[in-house]
Amino acid sequence: MIGLSEVVAAARRIGTHIHRTPLVYSRSLSLLSGNEIYLKCENLQKTGSFKIRGALNAVLQLTTAEQHRGVVTGSSGNHGQALAYAARQAKVRAVVVMPENVSAAKRGACQSYGGETVLYGLTAEARLAHAEHLVQSEGLVLVHPYDDARVIAGQGTLGLEVLAEYPEVNYLVAPVGGGGLLSGVALATKESSPKVQVIGVEPLVSPRLSYSWQEGQASELLGEAWQPSVADGLRSRRPGKLPYALTKRYVDKLVTVGEGEIVAAMKLILERTKLLAEPSGAVAVAAVLQPPLQGLGKKMVCVVSGGNIELAALARLLG
């Protein structure tokens, strides 16, 4: 298992390599939400998302032998970019397995950070299976996007920053994909300040963690139970095992948001705060604009987890 001391160590390890991102109060979003709304701006983080935290925390702990071998992961987006960036900092080889239909922009972003890209399959499961194959065949070290204690501890550093800057916070609201972000933040928050409520937000069309909580174990959404969300960072079909266990222990509540609400929240963030969130980065704001979180009169921090969106996709969403 992993505890607060791993998160504190991660903060010390990665602190000089990342941005301490701003916590921005929005009067306009507060009025709409009926709560005091602050945004933790990880869209302004290095590589454009919080994922650099976990990736760096993993890469900076490699042994010398592992540094010589290099790292590998499966990712269509932010974790791949973050791992490539982190590996370059440490002068380590990074291989990122991306889907065959990946956009030229996403592949190029990963390569611009020095990552080698390999195209394989179309699903997250296929990419990660191929990454594991490369662990066997090429001796690379796997850095899983969320089911990895080093990655989770790194993501948790975001929670420590929020508590240090805004100790009065009542609710911390964060998106859920594979659950690495939420589990790290929840662990850091509850072990430091147990009365803060930690809320996870999933797309209604892919509620893998809510489903897993119901089932009593990390479970896969099958068939019609899963649809691809506009929030492309939140598309995994099942949560990680470690995130499952940590969220069961530390997270107070899970809520879901609809596709239209996600896009509306993204537009609202852009219009009212001039911050560009990608759809995955807008789900926490979407959640505080509707029941059960709207109108509670509480101090809430929404994690704006990333801002990587291609201009063509942005234009399409803005209509």
Applying CB under 6 A, the residues found at the interface with ligand PLP are 49, 51, 78, 145-146, 175-182, 233-234, 278, 280-281, 305-306
**Is 183 designated active site?**
no
Which residues, in sequence order, are bridge partners of residue 173? 199, 302
Active site residue 91: no
* CB closer to ligand PLP, 146 vs 171: 146
- Is residue 96 within a helix (H) or strand (E), and if so which, with residue range? strand 94-98
Residue 103: strand, helix, or coil:
coil
Output the six-digit token pair for 90.
């440490």
Catalytic residue among 51, 210, 229, 236: 51
Instruction: Give whichever of 11 and 277 is closer to ligand PLP, judged by the CB atom.
Output: 277
Q: What angle do CA 200, 273, 267 make, to 5 degrees?
A: 70
Residue 44 or 296: the one with the smaller Cβ distance to ligand PLP is 44
Q: For the sheet with 197-203, list strands across it.
A: 23-25, 36-41, 299-304, 171-175, 197-203, 253-257
How many other C-beta atoms are found inside a 10 Å radius of the C-beta of residue 39? Answer: 25
To ligand PLP, the closest distance from the beta carbon of 50 in angstroms equals 7
Between 146 and 244, CB nearer to ligand PLP = 146
Residue number with the shortest CB distance to ligand PLP?
306
Please say whether the beta carbons of 169 and 37 come within 8 A.
no
Alpha-carbon span 284 to 259, nearest angstrom: 13
Q: Are 21 and 68 in contact (CB under 8 A)?
A: no
Q: Which two tokens stand for residue 268?
A: 């609202």
CB of 308 to ligand PLP, least distance (A): 7
Pick between residue 10 and residue 176 the one whose CB is nearest to ligand PLP.
Answer: 176
Shortest reach from residue 23's CB to ligand PLP, in Å: 17
- The least CB distance from residue 82 to ligand PLP, in Å, is 8
Q: Classify strands 36-41 and 23-25 as parallel, antiparallel or unpaired.
A: antiparallel
Active site residues: 51, 305
